[in-house]
Structure formats: C-alpha cells, structure tokens
Structure 1
C-alpha cells in the first residue's frame, strides 16, 4: 500500500510591500511522503511571494506535468507556472512553452548554483523564465517552522522576506539568478 500525503493547514498573513498585496490565506498543503519539510516550506514561501486569488498548489511531486504552483486565467490557460527545487531543464523548457511566465525557486546552496550554471545556455533561450535562488541556511531554518497547523506571517519589503510564526522568525534574501539584473 502506498504511503499517503500528510496534510498541513496554514493560516498565512501576507504583507507584500513591494507588490502592495495584503491578504490572509487559509491553505491546505499536502506533503508528499518523499517531500521534506524544507521543500514544503519553500513551496509555501513561493506562494507568499506570488500570492494571487487564482494561485493554487499543483498535485506536487507525483505529477510531472504539473507545476508546484500555478495561476490560471478564467479560460484555464496557465499565466504563471512556479516550480520549486532543481527541475530537469527539459521540464523547464516545456513549462515555458505552456505558460506566460515561469518562475523556479531553487535552493540547496552550491548544488543549486551548479544546476543553474550547467543549464544556463538553455535557460538563456527562454524569455519568460525567472530563476530565484534561496540560500541554504535560510531554507533550512524556514523548515523549522513546519507544523501540522501553522499560523504564519510573511512580510516582503525591498526584495527581503521575513517569515514568522508566533515564536520565531526567519529572514530570507532571495537571489535572482536569471535573468541577471
């Protein structure tokens, strides 16, 4: 019998000063049995940084043809495809063909940087792609906030992110890898 996903509930208060987005979201997050707390929390961070009324979680690791998060227009066309981790370059290229905008949030320290360098020639051909690297120490600390029921606050200001619960806070500094600033 296959292991089932673990369900997490999050109340997420977002104050994004950069986008002038202020909203509270009640989210149900299914964590695949092979997914770590770190990856799940990076998905939640990606949701926070791109929050929109039509942004939703995909089916996750078990489904290769779906984004970790995506925003569709009212006709079902994909406006924004968001992946977490270091997806295969072929999948990134396919996502760029299916969506108006693609964002990849990679993490893992030097491994993520090497992944980007290895595929930079292919990524340079994609005009609708953004790759953001999240520092390893910061995502590992973010993982410590994971609980089955979470009450979280996310403040975004001047490109910096503060993610907190009632007991602790994590400051993150996302680094844009592509396109280069």
Structure 2
C-alpha cells in the first residue's frame, strides 16, 4: 500500500509593504511523501510573495502540467505560472507560452540553476525572474514546520522577515533573470 500525502494547514499573516498587500491567509496543501519540508515552505513563500486575486496551489510535485502555484483571472485564463525549486527549462518554456507572467522561487544555488538553463530554449527567458534566498534560510525555517502552522511573512525593501511557529529568521530576496 502506498503512503498518501500529508495535509498541512497554514495561517499566514502577510504584510508585503513593497507591494501594499496585507492579508490573513488560510492555506491547505498536500505534502507528497517524497516532498521535502523545504519545498513545502517554498511553495507557501511563493504563494505569499505572489499573492493576488485568483492565486491557487496546484497538486504540487504530483502536477505534471501545472506549476506549483498559479494565478487565473475571473474567466479562468491562466495569467501567472509560478515554479518552485529547480524546474527544467522545458517547464519554464511551456509556462512562459501559457501565461503572461512567469516566476521561479528557489532555495537552491541560483547560479547553478542559471547554468543548467544556459543554451536551452526558454520563451521570454530574459523576462522571467529567479528569486532566491540566503543560504540555508529556507531549510532552517522549514525545520519548524508541523501539520498545523502559524506563519508571519513580512517584506520590506526586498527583505523577508519570516516567523514559522515561533521561529524567526530573515533573508534578502535576490532576483536575477532566468535567461
């Protein structure tokens, strides 16, 4: 018998001063048995940092034809394709053709990802931002994850202040183009 996904809930207090977004979010997401805690937290961070009307989680790593996070307008049209981790160039290419805006959030070494994508065809690659955090930031914060989580996400001047179940940390949000 295969092990099923584990449901995680997040109550997120979001204060993104840079974008003028202040919300309380109640999120539920399934963690696939092979998914790391860092990837789960990265999905929550991407959702929070990209928060807008119509945003939703996909099925996570089980979704083969959708990104980790997506945004649809009122008509159901895909407007934003948001990947996490280390997606391959083909996924970014597909996403860039399917949505008007694409972004990648990673907890990996961004220069290595950029090298892996170098020379590959990525539609509008120069317009796709790759967001990364300081070394070990996501992994350290993810060690505080439980099945029910209280999270505070504050952003000011591209500095992220994060509290996960009482454990506080901060990181600059670095940005570079994918292509």
Question: TM-score normalized by structure 2?
Answer: 0.92
Please report how far the alpha carbon of residue 116 of structure 1 lies from its aligned counterpart in structure 2 after TM superposition: 1.0
- Partners of 1:43 and 1:135 lie apart in 2 by 17
After superposition, where does 1:63-102 map in structure 2 within 5 Å?
63-102=63-102
Structure-2 residue corresponding to 1:162: 161
Structure 1: state its 5+ residue gaps: none
The CA RMSD over aligned residues, in Å, is 1.8
Please report how far the alpha carbon of residue 135 of structure 1 lies from its aligned counterpart in structure 2 after TM superposition: 2.8
Structure-2 residue corresponding to 1:13: 13
Structure-2 residue corresponding to 1:143: 142
Please report how far the alpha carbon of residue 127 of structure 1 lies from its aligned counterpart in structure 2 after TM superposition: 5.0
1:55-97 alpha-carbon deviations (Å, 9 max, x no partner): 1100111121011000001111111111101111011101100
Match of 1:120 among 118, 121, 128: 118
Pair 29,22 (structure 1): closer, same or farther in 2 beyond 3 Å: same
- Partners of 1:49 and 1:59 lie apart in 2 by 19
Greater Cα offset, 119-128 or 19-28: 119-128
Please report how far the alpha carbon of residue 2 of structure 1 lies from its aligned counterpart in structure 2 after TM superposition: 2.4
1:25 pairs with 2:25: yes
1:105-148 alpha-carbon deviations (Å, 9 max, x no partner): 12223xx4212123134458435411112233111112122111
1:61 pairs with 2:61: yes
Cα pair 1:58 1:69 within 8 Å, conserved: yes
Pair 166,66 (structure 1): closer, same or farther in 2 beyond 3 Å: closer
1:9-40 alpha-carbon deviations (Å, 9 max, x no partner): 11001000000000001111111111000110
Structure-2 residue corresponding to 1:174: 173
Aligned residues: 178
Pair 95,41 (structure 1): closer, same or farther in 2 beyond 3 Å: same
